[in-house]
């Protein structure tokens, strides 16, 4: 065993020396031929496996990608993995990324295009204690407001600006950790939270006073969708340059068709999809994943224009906020309007037609969210 | 025997300090002029040690394996990466040291860059290396590269000092025997360098653990203790003791690696006496 380790280490080290900083080309995209060989595809996710990516996991597991002649490999994210950069550098064929962040990368030269706006709605909340009386952005005045920074904070800043506050003066801004302890300890008055993750964590924590879990009645939520400062989030991004290649175009349609099927499957089989995510080795508990699945479904369904179709008004709002809202350091997400092909509905519309003819409900008009009961620690 | 006693004593003192502070410290911490000088002592920030140990025995997720087994597996995985990174780093460090000792030009030209290499922040380097995963090497190897990047430095610098340590009389004696560079290196310089090498290796071992843990976090490599630290820290809100179990695992891994490295000394340091005779 040691021998083997030493050997591999030497191989790794010499490979490093020999290749310098060379990168291998990604495998050429071949059209699925008559031979039935599957086209290998890499999809870069934003984070570890969790229900946020259930649709893609389900499409792999249920063989939807395979039906389309694709062999999709999901790549997990990490703290230093930027999906849109991985895509632009050719390390992945498609990537999942939030629209504002991806647009910022585009402005810096990443050649990527939004080909499927899977999440039609934003899942970002600002959560406060109910007894604080904070129910709207305007009431954040004079309060200690937690924000994540790193480009995750613009909905909050746009919401406060819209409510007539000067985020630099009227509130005390605090860099927030990725857990909710600061809010629970009342170090801050309002904390940023994703409906499908951090908000659930609050409801999985025990109230030391009662010995029971906190409930939704303990907190109040500022939902940026209602405040009118929501921005588009998870979307499928493709390589702009490769989109001029008919083979990649065709492959994109196939990829999106199977993706739609995956998400429709998770809408109709939330618990099955929860199990698939758990089986992928997620360290978050079962009830947490089911909660997340349900919340994510709410962000997608019902999809009036069809799942994945970019809504022009929502896109415009995202771009406008990206260009005008300043964060605490005075930066905006974008300096100018996105140039070139920032998004296209060409492929998603073809995919929707294909999915429809296969009998998939692409609108989910009758979708009704379930009520999920969270267990302590999300178990 | 005495050593074991002192190690145990250290653990007891730590436990007493932790629980003692929990007893006397304010649950809200102590804030002076808006700056927190003492941490919060509530159960959310500092869970009782027995809660942490209890958590180790409970299943990670409902129906899953107990946390201690998960952590043990993760530590074994990270140890593998650490070992690969450590060995690669140590070999590269040795090679550099020999080259720098042999050619003064290399030393002058290269040593500044060796030092410069460690001033590059890991957060800037990690994404770059992470990108190699799955293309020119498996993902775990990128983490080993990060570990070796941190561990080659102490070896290169320490070993260079060691190789240069023989006194002029020792070198002249070798010359009078008509010993060439290689012979002088093997018979004189290497043995003389051993006392310098081992402290450097211990530093390298510690650096390799840090590199592996940080590398796992930044590249999202699954299976190791670094990944567990970040996965569990997401649950800090509802299950604070779980975070500490992962940290405990990382700390024990560090100690284990330090122990293994010092075991390497045992067979090699027999030559030490020999060194002293030659260099006198």
pLDDT tens for the 379 residues of chain A, in order: 444 444 444 444 444 444 434 334 444 444 444 446 899 999 999 999 999 999 999 999 999 999 999 999 999 988 888 899 989 988 899 999 999 999 999 999 999 999 999 999 999 999 999 999 999 999 999 999 999 988 888 999 999 999 999 888 899 999 998 889 899 989 899 999 999 999 999 999 989 889 899 999 999 999 999 999 999 999 999 999 999 999 999 999 999 999 999 999 999 999 999 999 999 988 888 999 999 999 999 999 999 999 999 999 999 999 999 999 988 888 889 999 999 999 999 999 999 999 999 999 999 999 999 999 998 888 7
Residues of chain B contacting residue A174, judged by C-beta atoms under 8 Å apart = none
- Cβ atoms of B206 and B261 within 8 Å: the answer is no
Is A96 within the bounds of a domain? yes
Same domain membership, residue B33 and residue B11: yes
Do A80 and B126 make contact, defined as CB atoms within 8 angstroms? yes
Same domain membership, residue B263 and residue B142: yes
Give the number of other CB atoms < 10 A from CB of residue B173. 16
3-class DSSP assignment, residue A39? strand
CA distance A304 to chain B (A): 34
Handedness of CA B4, B71, A46, A228 (dihedral sign): negative
**What CATH number has the domain bearing residue A315?**
3.40.190.10
Same domain membership, residue B208 and residue B166: yes
Provide the pLDDT confidence category of residue B277 given band limits of 50, 70 and 90.
very low
pLDDT at B271: 59
Same domain membership, residue A371 and residue A279: yes
For range B191-211, the mean pLDDT: 91
Same domain membership, residue A261 and residue A216: no
Q: How many domains does chain B have?
A: 2
pLDDT at B272: 60
Q: Which residue has the tokens 């039906």?
A: A67
pLDDT at A8: 45
Q: Which of B43, B238, B260 to mutate to test the interface with A (most CBs of A within 10 A)?
A: B238
Same domain membership, residue A206 and residue A244: no
Same domain membership, residue B137 and residue B1: no
Residues of chain B contacting residue A51, judged by C-beta atoms under 8 Å apart = none
Is A13 within the bounds of a domain? no
Same domain membership, residue B11 and residue B107: no
pLDDT at A14: 44
Same domain membership, residue A260 and residue A135: no
Residues of chain B contacting residue A95, judged by C-beta atoms under 8 Å apart = none
Q: Which of B264 and B225 is assigned the larger pLDDT?
A: B225
Residues of chain A contacting residue B217, judged by C-beta atoms under 8 Å apart = 78-79
Q: Say yes or no: A93 contacts chain B, CB-CB below 8 A.
A: no
Do A284 and B42 make contact, defined as CB atoms within 8 angstroms? no
Among A227, A252, A269, identify where a domain stops. A227
Would you state the structure tokens that stand for residue B93, as one six-digit string? 């460090």
Supply the Cα-derived Rg of chain B in whole angstroms: 23
CA distance B220 to chain A (A): 4
- State the Cα–Cα distance between residues A204 and A191, nearest whole angstrom: 16
Q: How many domains does chain A have?
A: 2
- Residue whose C-alpha is closest to residue A98's, from A293, A241, A231: A231
Residues of chain B contacting residue A283, judged by C-beta atoms under 8 Å apart = 60-61, 228, 231-232, 234-235
**Which chain A residue has the Cα nearest residue B123?**
A80
* A171 DSSP assignment: S
Same domain membership, residue A307 and residue A351: yes
Range in A117-131, A220-234, B17-31, B92-106 with the lowest mean pLDDT: B17-31
Q: Say yes or no: A340 contacts chain B, CB-CB below 8 A.
A: no
Same domain membership, residue A362 and residue A216: no
Question: How many inter-chain contacts (A to B, CB under 8 Å) are there?
Answer: 141
Residues of chain B contacting residue A6, judged by C-beta atoms under 8 Å apart = 84, 87
pLDDT at A2: 41
Same domain membership, residue B141 and residue B2: no
Same domain membership, residue B9 and residue B128: no
Do A78 and B220 make contact, defined as CB atoms within 8 angstroms? yes
According to DSSP, the residues that pair with A144 across neighbouring strands are: A172
Give per-residue pLDDT as tens, B35-80. Answer: 777 888 888 888 999 999 988 988 887 777 889 999 999 999 999 9
Give per-residue pLDDT as tens, B235-274. Answer: 888 888 998 999 999 999 999 998 999 888 887 776 565 4
Strand B35-38 relative to strand B30-32, pairing: antiparallel
Is A195 within the bounds of a domain? yes
3-class DSSP assignment, residue A316? helix
Provide the pLDDT confidence category of residue B276 given band limits of 50, 70 and 90.
very low
Q: E strands of chain B, at which residues?
A: 30-32, 35-38
Q: Say yes or no: A275 contacts chain B, CB-CB below 8 A.
A: no
Is A150 within the bounds of a domain? yes
Look up the domain containing A216 and give its range. 124-227
Look up the domain containing B2 and give its range. 1-46
Q: Which of B133 and B82 is assigned the larger pLDDT?
A: B82
15-54 of A, contacting B, C-beta below 8 A: 15-16, 19, 21-24, 26, 42, 47-48
Same domain membership, residue B32 and residue B56: no
According to DSSP, the residues that pair with A94 across neighbouring strands are: A43, A238
Which of B43, B62, B136 is closest, CB to CB, to A24? B136
Cis check for the bond before A302: say yes or no (omega within 30 of 0): yes
């Amino acid at each position: 065993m040691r021998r083997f380790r030493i050997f591999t280490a030497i191989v790794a080290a010499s490979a490093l020396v020999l290749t310098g900083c060379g990168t291998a080309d990604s495998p050429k995209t071949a059209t699925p031929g008559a031979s039935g060989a599957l086209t290998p595809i890499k999809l870069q996710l934003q984070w570890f496996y969790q229900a946020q990516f259930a649709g893609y996991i389900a499409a792999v597991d249920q063989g939807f990608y395979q039906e389309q002649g694709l062999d999709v490999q999901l790549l997990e994210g990490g703290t230093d993995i930027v999906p849109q950069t991985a895509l632009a550098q050719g390390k992945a064929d498609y990537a999942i990324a939030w629209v504002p962040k991806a647009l910022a990368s585009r402005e810096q030269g990443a050649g990527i295009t939004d080909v499927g706006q899977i999440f039609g709605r934003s899942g970002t909340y600002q959560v406060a204690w109910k007894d604080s009386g904070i129910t709207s952005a305007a009431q954040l005045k004079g309060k200690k407001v937690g924000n994540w920074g790193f480009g995750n904070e613009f909905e909050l800043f746009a919401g406060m600006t819209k409510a007539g506050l000067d985020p630099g003066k009227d509130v005390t801004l605090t860099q927030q950790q990725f857990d909710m302890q600061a809010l629970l300890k009342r170090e801050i008055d309002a904390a940023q939270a994703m409906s499908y993750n951090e908000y659930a964590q609050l409801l999985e924590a025990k109230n030391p006073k009662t010995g029971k879990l906190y409930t939704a009645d303990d907190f109040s939520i500022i939902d940026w969708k209602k405040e009118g400062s929501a921005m588009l989030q998870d979307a499928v991004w493709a390589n702009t340059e490769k989109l001029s290649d008919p083979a990649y175009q065709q492959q994109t349609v196939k990829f999106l068709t199977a993706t739609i099927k995956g998400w429709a499957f998770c809408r109709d089989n939330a618990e099955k999809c929860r199990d698939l995510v758990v089986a992928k080795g997620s360290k978050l508990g079962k009830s947490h994943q089911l909660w997340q699945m349900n919340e994510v479904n709410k962000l997608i369904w019902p999809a009036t224009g069809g799942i994945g179709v970019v809504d022009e008004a929502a896109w415009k709002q995202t771009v406008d906020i990206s260009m005008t809202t300043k964060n605490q350091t005075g930066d905006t997400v974008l300096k100018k309007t996105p140039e070139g092909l920032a998004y296209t509905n060409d492929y998603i519309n073809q995919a929707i037609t294909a999915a429809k003819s296969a009998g998939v409900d692409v609108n989910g008009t009758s979708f009704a969210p379930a009520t999920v009961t969270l267990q302590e620690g999300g178990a | 025997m005495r050593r074991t006693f002192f190690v145990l004593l250290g653990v007891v003192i730590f436990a007493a300090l932790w629980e003692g502070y929990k007893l006397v410290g304010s649950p809200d911490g102590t804030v002076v002029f808006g700056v927190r000088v003492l941490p919060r002592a509530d159960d959310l920030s500092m869970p009782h040690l027995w809660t942490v140990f209890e958590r180790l025995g409970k299943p990670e997720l409902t129906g899953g394996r107990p946390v201690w087994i998960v952590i043990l597996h993760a530590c074994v995985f990270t140890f593998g990466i650490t070992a690969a990174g450590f060995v690669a780093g140590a070999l590269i460090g040795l090679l550099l040291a020999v080259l720098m000792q042999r050619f003064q030009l290399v030393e002058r030209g290269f040593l500044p860059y060796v030092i410069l290499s460690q001033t590059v922040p890991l957060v800037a380097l990690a994404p770059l290396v992470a990108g190699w995963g799955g293309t020119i090497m498996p993902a775990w190897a990128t983490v080993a590269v990060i570990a070796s990047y941190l561990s080659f430095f102490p070896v290169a610098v320490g070993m260079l000092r060691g190789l240069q340590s023989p006194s002029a009389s020792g070198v002249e004696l070798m010359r009078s025997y008509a010993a060439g560079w290689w012979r002088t290196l093997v018979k004189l310089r290497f043995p003389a360098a051993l006392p310098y090498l081992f402290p450097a290796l211990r530093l390298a071992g510690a650096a390799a653990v840090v590199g592996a843990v940080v590398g796992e976090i930044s590249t999202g490599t699954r299976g190791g203790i670094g990944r567990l630290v970040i996965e569990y820290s997401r649950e800090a809100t509802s299950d604070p003791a779980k975070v500490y179990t992962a940290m405990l695992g990382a700390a024990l891994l560090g100690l284990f690696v330090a122990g293994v490295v010092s075991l390497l000394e045992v067979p090699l340091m027999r030559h030490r006496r020999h060194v002293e005779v030659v260099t006198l």
